[in-house]
Structure 1
Amino acid sequence: MYRTRASADEIARLFAAVDRTGNEPWPVDVYPDRLAPIVRHGADGPEIARARWGMPTPPQHLKTQRDPGVTNVRNTGSSHWRRWLGAESRCLVPLVAFSEPGPDRKPLWFEPVDEAPMFFAGIQTCGWTSVRKVKDGATTDDLFAFLTTAPNAEVGAVHPRAMPVILTKPDEWQAWLAAPWNEARDLQRPLPDGALRIVS
């Protein structure tokens, strides 16, 4: 789970993008398979849109017709994910805090110590048809997920395997959206140690 900003207007103040959401408020707590705002490439430049959290699952991992989606991606060398690594399929996912399960399985929340704006380094696809929920049958959705990497010190103390790829600087945001993959892939790295704090 993570927390996003409350409206497109808040995101637009951080990033010059056209609002395609109508600037309607949305839930700030984001759970897998829910709609959430992303910044992506539009016909007239960057746009703020809403997409469903969970990219298509690699077919070999599907046991039934239902595809619940993959919320985060680590192995960018996989042939399944390579199709969405070009600049046209990358997106930025705005957040103010994210959680990891603590020792008691309750979420521990992380936020930046300097309150800097943050975006997950995301990938997205538009108009994907799949069965997300059996009761709904096949639906066509815009989908997104974000990259993970090795954890920094704060996250590693709680979750030693991975942390989300988080971008905090405008030049990183621009590079993620526009740079060729052989440059953008260098952004798949942890935040520096000391950049996050745990909040209740």
Structure 2
Amino acid sequence: MTRLYRLDASAADIAACFGAQAGKDPWVGDYVAPGRPAPVVVRDAKSRIRRVRPMFWGVPPPPSGTDPITSARNLDSPFWVGTLRHTEFRCLIPATSFALWSGPDGARRQHWFAVADQPIFAIAGIIRFADEIPTFAMLTTDPNRLVAHHHSGAMPLILPAEAQERWLTADWKDARALVTPFPGQAMTVSDTPPQ
């Protein structure tokens, strides 16, 4: 599971990439970690217009939890299923790379993964509100062969460009079919974030 990603693009570049309106989002590019704000792309249900909106990474935990939740893996969990069924709570999380760690304690190494032909790619996300503050979490899936070589845990659910609208608008039974590892041969990995 990743707890760090980069979005090295401006809000205007993100909007252009995803056919969205940037509004007044001041994002100019940086890293994103839990609890930090970052732009996501949402689709207005009535106007069908995509918009770039700043939100905080990490949704409020269930009553028994204490820490914000940054990723969703068990999509049958009652905690997530109601949100996933409603398209207005789905979003695209723009990223330029994400980090995962490997190795034993004391000798861990960070690896940065990107999509080779998409300078800005989309991770499937969901939205929740905490006291009217918009928050998001990313969906994860089994690792592909490239990611599994470096990290045995889950990887973010990267959406191919042609699947992004489907994630935002499809019935949950249809959208759920998108929960599959992104092809490893279409990705790159390095020890530092790609420039």
In structure 2, the partner of 1:136 is none
In structure 1, the partner of 2:76 is 77
Structure 1, residues 141-188: CA drift from partner, whole Å, max 9, x if none? 10001100100011111221211100131x201000000000000111
In structure 2, the partner of 1:53 is 57
Mapped pair 1:9 → 2:12: yes
Cα distance in 2 for partners of 1:33, 1:158 equals: 26
TM-score (ref. length: structure 2): 0.86
On the 8 A contact 1:116/1:168 being kept in 2, the answer is no
Structure 1, residues 61-103: CA drift from partner, whole Å, max 9, x if none? x2xxxx4311110011011111210211000000010000132
Cα distance in 2 for partners of 1:10, 1:183 equals: 29
On the 8 A contact 2:147/2:184 being kept in 1, the answer is no
Cα distance in 2 for partners of 1:163, 1:173 equals: 18
Matches within 5 A, 1:1-200: 1-20=4-23, 22-42=24-44, 44=47, 45-60=49-64, 62=65, 67-85=66-84, 86-103=86-103, 104-115=107-118, 117-126=120-129, 128-129=130-131, 140-169=132-161, 171-200=162-191
- How far has the Cα of 1:199 moved from its partner? 1.4
Where does structure 1 lack aligned partners over 5 or more consecutive residues? 130-139
TM-score (ref. length: structure 1): 0.84
In structure 2, the partner of 1:133 is none
What's the C-alpha RMSD, in Å, of the aligned pairs? 1.7
- How far has the Cα of 1:27 moved from its partner? 4.6
Q: Tell me the secondary structure at the aligned position of residue 3 of structure 1.
A: strand
- How far has the Cα of 1:105 moved from its partner? 2.6
Q: Tell me the secondary structure at the aligned position of residue 148 of structure 1.
A: strand
Give every structure 1 segment of 4 or more consecutive aligned residues whose post-TM-superposition deviation is greater than 6 Å.
none
Q: Percent identity?
A: 35
